[in-house]
Amino acid sequence: MTRMQSVTPILRIFDEAKAREFYLEFLGFTVRFEHRFGDSFPIYLGIARDDVVLHLSEHHGDATPGGHVRIGMTGLADYCQGLREKDYRYAKPGAPVRQDWGSLELTLGDPFGNHLTFWEETGGA
């Protein structure tokens, strides 16, 4: 019997400093690993927060800009409040939106055209 265990999205980035500012400082992810083939090569970063793992790549063949990832979580309202308190210059998240299909959601765009939708199951339909 086969069993799939996880998925790791790869998101295209264009500027390492902006990626670190958004994903690490603002969203609270930490670096698991980083790789370059040499000093003048693009970076490939593995980042994580709790059980969520993302890969960020400057390599043009790894991903298409404008991806969209949904990240399930608990405590979304508190997380959003914490993001607002950071007063990040390039994202001012509002309150999460209650969806008709039974989830609370907040979508943020990163500096590279990718979107992350943080969602929490609220029940009901």
77 falls within a domain: yes
Query: Can you give the CATH number for the domain in which 102 is found?
Result: 3.10.180.10
Task: Check residue 65 and report its DSSP letter.
Answer: S
The total number of structural domains in the chain stands at: 1
4 falls within a domain: no
Give strand pairing partners of 55: 10, 46
pTM of the complete model? 0.93
113 falls within a domain: yes
Q: Mind listing the pLDDT tens digit for each residue in 45-85? A: 999 999 999 999 999 889 998 999 999 999 999 999 999 99
The pLDDT score that the predictor gives to residue 123 is 77
75 falls within a domain: yes
The pLDDT score that the predictor gives to residue 4 is 85
> What is the rounded distance in angstroms from the CA atom of residue 25 to the CA atom of residue 6?
25
Range of the domain at 16: 10-121
CA distances from 96 to 28, 42, 83, 110 (A): 18, 35, 12, 17
